[in-house]
Amino acid sequence: MKMKKFWRILKYLFLTGVLLLLMTGCFLLSYLMGIEEWKTYDPQETADLMLSSEFFDNEGEVFARLYAEEDRLFCEIESLPEHVKNAFIAIEDARFYTHPGIDIIRIGGALIEDLKSGSLAQGASTISQQVVKLSALSGKRTISRKLTEIMMAFKLEQRFSKDEILELYLNIAYFGNGAYGIETAADKYFGKNAAELSISEAATLAGIVKAPSNYAPHIKPENSLRRRNLVLSQMLHYGFLSQKDYEKARTDTLVLTENTRETYPYGYYLDYALMEAKNILGIPLEELYSGGYRIYTALDQTQQKLIENYAKMPENFPENAKDGEAVQCAAVMLDAKTGAISAMIGGREHEARLSFSRAYQMQRQPGSALKPVLVFAPAVEYLGLLPTNFLLDAEEDFGGFLPKEKNYAGWMTLRDVCAYSTNIPAVRLLSEIGVERAKRYAESVGIPFTKEDMGLSLALGGMHKGLSPLELASSYLPFASGGSFGESYAVTKICDKNGNILYEKEPSFFSVLSEKSAYLVSSMLSSAAKYGTAKHLYMEDIPLAAKTGTSSFDSEKGYNRDAWITAYNPEYVFCCWVGFDKTDDLHYLEQGVTGGSCPAAFAKYIFSEIYKNKTAPDFSIPYGIESAEIDKYILDTQKRTVLSTEQSIETFTEFFTRENLPKETALYFSQEPPSDFKAEWQNFYPIISFTGQKDLVYALYRQNSTGTRDLLCRMTGTGTLFSYMDFSAEKGESYTYLLQQSLPTGAVYTEQENLAKGAASVLLSHPDAEIRNGTTD
């Protein structure tokens, strides 16, 4: 025992001496040969790896990975099971945890084998040397390069622990298939994290590193299998595997994942999120690509796919122009409660990274789609208008501005002005609100104006530059959210490669409109979707509010430039634009292509798909808003808002602020006079009686034989029997008593006459005469 211990110590001292001699020799050779590179080598730079940045959707799922030169995801050594680490140690550097950076035994063995012109499974370079070689040196094989590699390996070992060096190696190594680092390799080959690799899968990846072009399983599966088995045998040899685990791993059938992930999916959305993240961090794109950032977004992949797929189908859009140029579109979907962008396209096809996006980089005339923001919301909020307020649609000169209509509708309720997008009342409203006051509200919800945007033409969407679909969609957020607005965004959080939070979106919604006003505007725009300009959007089981917009190119021929729709509910705001990039005599929207045609069909499809398997929400009535059943006939004929009754011919539900809830009730009466009208003698005096209809006005007249008529009394019916005794009647005289009924102010007959009268008469001769009943005109 003592002799064995002695020889073991002697062997250790010998190897230590050889190592010291080797280090001294390397140092002297490096000095004599003028090698300076190892002196300036900073091991910390080796740890600064280029890492891919990942983009996550609103469910926390990775949907894109971007990188500059090398697709690499960082993997922490602590997350790896022992069999993964041991697979690489067994085949690459069995004495990794015991040598100081170079392996003298391995170098000697490799030298002998080279002399024999043979080849073992392992080369002479240690893992530490390979880290240096892969990160800091060129691929030339010269004596000076080898010496430099050795000296750098020594420095690396002094700077980092063994686990840290192994971690660097596993993250630096190239595994073929465009995968740098074990995490990326595990994902690309097996569709899993490196921490989830089986023994067989780990051995396969460890076998690739020596020569990816020769051992990658998707290129040369037979070679890969043989190499895997060699790794497994080395693991068994060095005691990293039991016989049982070894035999099982050798018989495992590898299943490679089919990598179907697009390299740049959801192009327009990814472009937007990429540039937003760049601006948030204040770094160049190159650094964002290679910094290993984790960028979390509000992307809803289901919505994005729906919008992209719909936009790609030619049958959903007008025909191409005569020169073949296709009609373009842009669409944006926002979360109504946060303003987060859940889906976006800036064109029908995404052709290149960071290409022009019509969703937010284009400015076009919004037409009437601007009315709810610039006119209707301020009219309700500042002027206190209600949906039942009447506005006149008639030709009018507004200080030289003469908006035209094909037809004039006369008096209209504000609800119908919104629904049918009538121009003249909108211009008059803007005039009453004041252009600057209306603009201040519009600016508070993100609408951009130029100094030229000063006139009443703004009521019709006549802007100097226009706006983007994203800006228009965002401006509707207060209607959908109950009066709150916040800037739209795609990025919700950004973390560095270590998971440290660098940025997190803070809630930034603030009130710009009262809940009551927001609800009333949404209620009126629901009518636009039900029977107005957006009626092609209407779905009975999916409540929506919407406003269309169309800008004209040639009004005489009916050609248009832009067609818009913004449709929303309490969960989402969707905005779509359709048109040509440049409108001219060859490129225009044909007659009939308006916001209410293909943009409305687009919105209808998207919302119908979103709510295919779930219940769509309706707008909640806020505190301070009450509904009432209104008499439609009186509203239409007399322009008055009164509550309906059981006798009302046609009614509808309308919404009011509590303080403006109607109090007057509709009055309807029959034209028939009282059937029990009679006159008789009683105690030598005539007594006249009848049952009067409640609230109806009655006048009782007496006419003598010469035709003289006297008014005896007036009364209002109560629904009970009324009696009147005529004490001024003379005995022996014959009288005719007449009863005339008429309406109180504001009452209407069921026959729909504004004023009508009913009359009855009874002739009374003398006390013994027969009483006769009759009617007169």
Question: What is the chain's Cα-based Rg?
Answer: 44
The string of DSSP codes covering 274-293 is HHHHHHHHT--HHHHHHBT-
To 5 degrees, how large is the angle CA 231–CA 233–CA 239?
105
Whether 506 is catalytic is no
In the set 200, 368, 468, 522, the catalytic residue is 368
Q: CB of 692 within 8 A of CB of 715?
A: yes
Rounded CA-CA distance 207/423 in Å is: 74
Phi, psi (deg, nearest 5) at residue 520: -65, -40
Cross-sheet strand order for the sheet of 341-345: 341-345, 328-335, 572-579, 559-568, 545-554
Place of tokens 């936009």: 311
CB 33 within 8 Å of CB 144: yes
How many degrees, rounded to 5, is the angle at CA 479 between CA 475 and CA 483? 95
Any bridge partners for residue 412, and if so which?
391
DSSP E strands: which ranges in 160-202? none
Residue 62 · residue 285 · CB < 8 Å: no
Report the alpha-carbon distance of residue 430 to residue 453 in Å, rounded. Answer: 13
CA–CA gap between residue 281 and residue 652 (Å, rounded): 55
Alpha-carbon gap, residue 293 to 53, rounded angstroms: 5
Q: Is 664 helix (H, G, I), strand (E, B) or coil?
A: coil
Q: Given the residues 30, 52, 54, 92, select the one marked as catalytic.
A: 92
Taking CA atoms, 526 is separated from 318, 394, 432, 534, 560, in Å, by 27, 25, 25, 9, 25
Place of tokens 């800006």: 471
Task: Answer yes or no: are the C-beta atoms of 718 and 747 closer than 8 Å.
Answer: no
For the question of residue 484 being annotated catalytic, the response is no
Dist. CA 528–CA 540, nearest whole Å: 14
Distance CA 129, CA 142 (A): 15
Rounded to whole angstroms, the Cα distance separating 21 from 11 reads: 15
**Which residues form the catalytic set?**
92, 368
